[in-house]
Amino acid sequence: MGIMGGTFDPIHIGHLILAEEAKNYFGLDKIIFIPTGRPPHKHWDNMAEPIKRYEMTLLATTDNPDFIVSSIEIDREGTTYTIDTIKYLIQKYKDTEFYFITGADSIVEISNWKNSKELLSLCKFITAKRAVVSDNKLEKTISEIEKKLGVSIDILPIPYIDISSTNIRNKIKKNESIKYYLPDSVRDYIFKNKLYID
């Protein structure tokens, strides 16, 4: 089972393509999208409300029966950590192998995550290359992690998808088109709720 964690502020086609490609390439039966509650590495007070990010994620994934959206992190009080989420999922879905799907920018920072060594031992990690991280840096980081911890991290062979939630938010502030960057349903939700204008 795949896990797509992220702020999804907002969710966009890059997230959806990554999830679908990982599902197909690794033969995963389902992908669980988990919008973060209050992540320790971001200024969550500047993000859209958790319930709105959750609702956008639901809208974006509703037409794919293999995509599930969970509110476990936004329901949790206080700062949310991936390690706690993974432990919860292991208890809930016994005898299930989990694959955490993320971008290269997260992998190169994973040593800063809470209990990263334990986390890497509990589930497999899949990463996609991103333009913000050079191939050499990504491969070097993965090699160091694998040697140090005896785990493996897989690189998903897909083209760069140079779309970011930050870029989308900036376009909205500048009143520029975001058509095709995200599903129409999410775009309509953003405009209806006047998100990212300030």
Tokens 């990504």 locate to 138
At 41 the pLDDT is 62
CB count in 10 Å sphere of residue 187? 21
d(CA 181, CA 83) in angstroms, rounded, equals 30
Residue 193: per-residue pLDDT: 96
| pLDDT computed for residue 39 by the predictor | 67
pLDDT tens track, the chain, 198 positions: 999 999 999 999 999 999 999 999 999 999 999 999 876 665 566 789 999 999 999 999 999 999 999 999 999 888 889 999 999 999 999 999 999 999 888 888 888 899 989 999 999 999 988 777 788 888 999 999 888 888 889 999 887 778 899 999 999 999 999 999 999 999 999 999 999 987
CA distances from 131 to 30, 65, 138, 157, 161 (A): 27, 30, 11, 14, 8
Residue 115, judged by CB atoms within 10 A of its CB (0-12, 13-18, 19+), counts as middle
Cα dihedral sign for 85, 91, 93, 94? positive
- Which of the listed CATH numbers 1.10.645.10, 3.40.50.620, 3.40.720.10, 3.40.50.2300 matches domain 1-161? 3.40.50.620
The structure's pTM equals: 0.91
Ordered by start, the domain boundaries in the chain are 1-161
Cα–Cα nearest to 160, from 101, 100, 99, 104: 104
Sequence-distant (≥ 6) Cβ neighbours of residue 66 within 8 angstroms: 23, 29, 30, 31
